Amino acid sequence: MRSVRAKNLHLALQAPIENKYMGKPVGAGLLDYEVYLRTSELRSLQSSPQDLVIPDEMLFQIAHQSQELWLKLAAFETIGLVEAIDGDDLWAAAETLKRQILVMKTLESELAVISTLSPEAFLVVRRYLGNGSGLQSPGYFELLLAAEAANDALSDLLKRRGVSIRDVYEERARYRDLHHICERFVDLDSGFQMWLTAHFMLVRRTLGIDRSVKALDGFPTVALGPRTTKPLFPALWDVRVEMSRGWTREGGTSPATLRSRDTSPSHPSLSSRPLVACDESESASGIRAGLGNRK
């Protein structure tokens, strides 16, 4: 049973709030901020407090609605990413990738809030979801579609330059701009997989992972495991396997002996440079030169 104070707060939150600095009510949907962002409509997309099956349902709805919006943004940003890569504007591509990487981190961190939902509470909310599951998420499939387009754009970029992914990674100094873009793609893909892993852990702590436990769409929750390591850009991960398979011990030394410089073909630049770190100005100029619009 609610206290009088809690009841009063509940009622106060249902009505516009007087903004003493502006002398106008906030929450009536009449101010420019509210009109532009359509806050009245946005805030009405959740069940009303009196219709919630349990208070935790508000968390469940808002968190998943927020996830859909961030996924929509990540997919939308890919349009600009593809355009930048197709136009050989790798500076713009790098900036867009940076934003998308941060979106993926936001998606992952938001799941920590949903993880405060207890198994008992989740099982109550679950009765009202019908057959709903993450496999019905439009944002998720938009992101997959967008990733395919981005992957194609990256492949065409490498073809225009006449290089392979293996070339880019084995001759980083020569293809610095391409290496930078490829690594940002890897960062984006890592963020995507970390988000899926966080979702896997969310399911594990609220529902359980087992062949006998099925999501509402009928798939066993254990099927979520393999999905967490399925990359968006597989070639960028495969190149690491290829390089490791071709690795040999020749040229190195045992831990107890005096080390010599690694002058293997994969590190040609190391043999001609001093063993000191470059200063900040040298690093910055190198990045500027590497991210130029070379063809």
Question: Could you list the residue range(s) of the whole structural domain that residue 35 is in?
Answer: 17-46
Of the given ranges (78-82, 210-214, 283-287), which has the lowest mean pLDDT? Answer: 283-287
CA nearest 53: which of 158, 147, 123? 123
* % of the chain with per-residue pLDDT over 90: 63
Query: Do residue 42 and residue 75 come from a single domain?
Result: no
Band of pLDDT at residue 134, cut at 50, 70 and 90: confident
Q: Where are the alpha helices (DSSP H) in the chain?
A: 4-12, 32-37, 39-43, 56-86, 90-114, 119-126, 138-161, 165-170, 176-206, 224-227, 234-245, 280-290
Average pLDDT of the residues of the chain: 88
Query: Do residue 33 and residue 119 come from a single domain?
Result: no
Band of pLDDT at residue 279, cut at 50, 70 and 90: very low
Task: Tell me if 28 is assigned to some domain.
Answer: yes
Task: Sort residue 248 into left (φ over 0), alpha (ψ -120 to 50) or beta.
Answer: beta
What pLDDT is recorded for position 263? 59
Beta strands 17-19 and 24-26, pairing class = antiparallel
Band of pLDDT at residue 96, cut at 50, 70 and 90: very high
Of the given ranges (11-15, 122-126, 158-162), which has the lowest mean pLDDT? Answer: 11-15
* Number of domains present in the structure of the chain: 2
Q: What is the DSSP letter of 47?
A: P
Task: Tell me if 102 is assigned to some domain.
Answer: yes
**Helix axis angle, 176-206 to 119-126, nearest 10°:** 90
pLDDT, mean of residues 217-244: 91
For residue 282 the two structure tokens come to 């040298």
Task: Tell me if 175 is assigned to some domain.
Answer: yes
Query: Do residue 106 and residue 205 come from a single domain?
Result: yes
Task: Report whether pLDDT(224) > 50.
Answer: yes
Task: Tell me if 221 is assigned to some domain.
Answer: yes
What pLDDT is recorded for position 217? 81
| Predicted confidence (pLDDT) per residue in 38-49, tens digit | 999 999 999 999
CA–CA gap between residue 124 and residue 128 (Å, rounded): 8
Query: Do residue 162 and residue 40 come from a single domain?
Result: no
Query: Do residue 76 and residue 221 come from a single domain?
Result: yes
pLDDT, mean of residues 215-233: 88
What pLDDT is recorded for position 262? 62
What pTM did the predictor assign? 0.83
Task: Tell me if 265 is assigned to some domain.
Answer: no
Task: Report whether pLDDT(252) > 70.
Answer: yes
CA–CA gap between residue 265 and residue 166 (Å, rounded): 13
| Predicted confidence (pLDDT) per residue in 160-172, tens digit | 999 999 999 999 9
Query: Do residue 72 and residue 169 come from a single domain?
Result: yes
Band of pLDDT at residue 2, cut at 50, 70 and 90: confident
Q: Which CATH number belongs to the domain containing residue 216 in this structure?
A: 1.20.58.480
